[in-house]
A and B are shown apart, each in its own frame.
Chain A
Amino acid sequence: MTELAKAVLAGQRLALARLLTQVENDTPQGREALNALFPHTGRAHLVGITGAPGTGKSTLVSQLVRAYRQPQDGSLPSRMGVVAVDPTSPFTGGALLGDRVRMRDLSGDPGVFIRSMATRGALGGLAQRTAAVVQVLDAAGFDVIFIETVGAGQSEVDIARLALTTLVIAAPGAGDDIQASKAGILEIADILVVNKADQPGVDSAVRALQAMLGQATAASGKHLLHAPQEDAKEETTSGWEIPVLRTTATSGEGVHELVTAIRQHQDYLKESGNWEQRDQTRLQSELQSLLQSTLLARWRETVCDAHSQQTLDLLAMRKISPLQAVERLLENNQL
């Protein structure tokens, strides 16, 4: 095992921070450590937080982490990791990562580790390396890891695939947003939260979400996302009704109820066997995308430029179809 991986398992925070950089940059050192750490993963409760910009995701994460750190029932506080993702500017490649501003209260707690991440070109609300970064935190022994997405409002399938429990955060007055992203929300949410409950319009936002849920349950009755591959076993959703909760993240109201709901969902996943099911689905999709990128990279190494240019020319002249072009490119190149 690498020194860095050892230090991370021993709980050294600087080593952890440095490894996260290596993993984010996908360096050989980072890859080696990931391999060594993988057997130590699979224990953390990965909780995704998504929702439109400005709905209060970061403020809520801060409150949730605080609540987990001060359990009311006398149990031991969980060690908490946070990964907060913000967008990279497509024009400059730079990013302004501002989620920490709302997590100021968590400072000074050695049981909390917060890491900001830029999307670096990935769409869908997460960075390509977010899953790997989360794996390192998992191996480092964090019990619960919150993952805050960009919240672009588009279908955020990636977070639901990575997280075991996904929270979708809405705010009152955003009725149109809710309507627009309706399909997305229902596919990914395990818990719906209407934050900013101190603002007018909260009741109608809650009612709108409940109505959507009612329609969806009547129509299908199964969780759409967590069985994306055809051969994957279908997940049973009986036993979990998606709750709609209200919070005021700025004051902390409703946060303990939300923690209870997250814990209940965790229990539900474990009792129903869906914890393993989601874990497998996630690993399967991770494997698939790694396989794709690796095979593509290997193939690129073997193909000669002249041959691929020739094929492209034939394609552009409509002499061969795209399918035939693929055949042609693969034929002359042994993988």
Chain B
Amino acid sequence: MTEQKIRVLIAKPGLDGHDRGAKVIARALRDAGMEVIYTGLRQTPQMIAEAALQEDVDVVGLSILSGAHNALVPAVIDLLRHNGQENVLVFVGGIIPESDIPALKEAGACAVYGPGTTTTEVVETIRREVLGNPVG
């Protein structure tokens, strides 16, 4: 019997110490039937890419409140690509100014979510994007 599950890594890069938002989204994804690997606070892009590789996830969700998203997001995406995980989808959540979003998407972020986003919205996008993409 085969059973496919969407595997998601939720990571909290940067130096700020709040992971409430990350935990909320982690629980929402679990409740939507996904397997969520939570890695905790203060992850470097290297740590995140390494965990994503070992766990062979379909999705990496980055929660960033520190304002360092313009550096962190491309750094994580470059490392994922460098490791051969081109197909992994990267989602970004946190306090991101509208004006920064195009550049993050340009860097390869699949979607960027602000504070007003509902968890249902995130769940639906992940389902659509992962199931519409070859897993790998």
Interface residues of A (CB under 8 A from B): 13-14, 17-18, 20-21, 25-27, 88-89, 92-98, 100-101, 104, 107-108, 113-116, 118, 120
> Which residues of chain A come closer than 8 Å to B51, judged between CB atoms?
100, 107, 114
**CB atoms of A94 and B36 under 8 A apart:** yes
Q: Does any Cβ of A come within 8 Å of B46's Cβ?
A: yes
* B37 and A97 contact, CB distance less than 8 A: yes
Residue pair B37, A116 in contact (C-beta under 8 Å): yes
Q: Is A98 within 8 A of B33, CB to CB?
A: no
B131 interface contact, C-beta 8 A:
no
Chain B positions near chain A (C-beta within 8 angstroms): 1-5, 7, 26-27, 29-40, 43-44, 46-47, 50-51, 53-56, 83-85, 136
Please name all residues of chain B whose beta carbon is closer than 8 Å to the beta carbon of A116 when the two chains form the complex: 37, 55
Q: Which residues of A lie under 8 Å from residue B35 when comparing CB positions?
A: 88, 94-95, 97, 118
* Closest beta carbon of chain B to A262's beta carbon, Å: 23
Known: A92-B30, A94-B31. A13 touches B53 (CB 8 A): yes
- Complexed CA–CA distance, A285 and B5 (Å): 27
B55 touches A115 (CB 8 A): yes
Neighbouring A residues of B2 by C-beta, 8 Å: 25-27
Please give 13 more A-B residue pairs, beta carbons under 8 A apart, in addition to A25-B4, A88-B35, A104-B43.
A21-B7, A25-B2, A92-B32, A93-B33, A94-B29, A94-B33, A95-B30, A96-B36, A97-B36, A97-B37, A100-B39, A118-B5, A120-B5
A260 CB → nearest B CB, Å = 28
Q: Look across to chain B and name the residue whose beta carbon is closest to the beta carbon of A98.
A: B38
Q: Tell me the bound Cα distance from A114 to B40 in angstroms.
A: 15
A18 contact set on B, CB distance < 8 A: 56, 136
The residues of B that contact A93 with a CB separation of less than 8 Å are: 5, 33
Q: How far is the CA of A113 from the CA of B51 in the complex (A)?
A: 9
- Sample 13 A-B pairs with CB under 8 A, ordered by A number: A14-B83, A14-B84, A17-B55, A25-B5, A89-B30, A89-B31, A92-B30, A92-B33, A94-B32, A95-B30, A101-B38, A115-B54, A116-B37
Tell me the nearest residue of chain A to B44, going by C-beta.
A107
Distance between B42 CB and nearest chain A CB, rounded to angstroms: 8
Residues of A within 8 A of B33 (CB): 92-94
Question: Which residues of A lie under 8 Å from residue B40 when comparing CB positions?
Answer: 100-101, 104
Chain B contacts of A115 at CB under 8 A?
Answer: 54-55
Neighbouring B residues of A88 by C-beta, 8 Å: 35
| Contact residues in B for A120 (Cβ distance below 8 Å) | 3, 5
CA–CA, A96 to B28, complex, Å?
10
Determine if B50 and A107 form an interchain contact, defined as CB atoms under 8 angstroms apart.
Answer: yes
The answer to whether B39 touches A104 (Cβ under 8 A) is yes
Which of A92, A98, A114 sits near B31, CB closer than 8 Å? A92
Smallest Cβ-Cβ distance to B136: which chain A residue: A18
In the bound complex, what is the Cα–Cα distance between A104 and B38 (angstroms)? 11
Report which residue of A89, A96, A101 has the largest number of chain B beta carbons within 10 angstroms of its beta carbon. Answer: A96
Distance from B63 Cβ to chain A, minimum over Cβ atoms (Å): 14
* A95 to B85 alpha-carbon distance, docked (Å): 23
Contact B38 A97 (CB under 8 A): yes
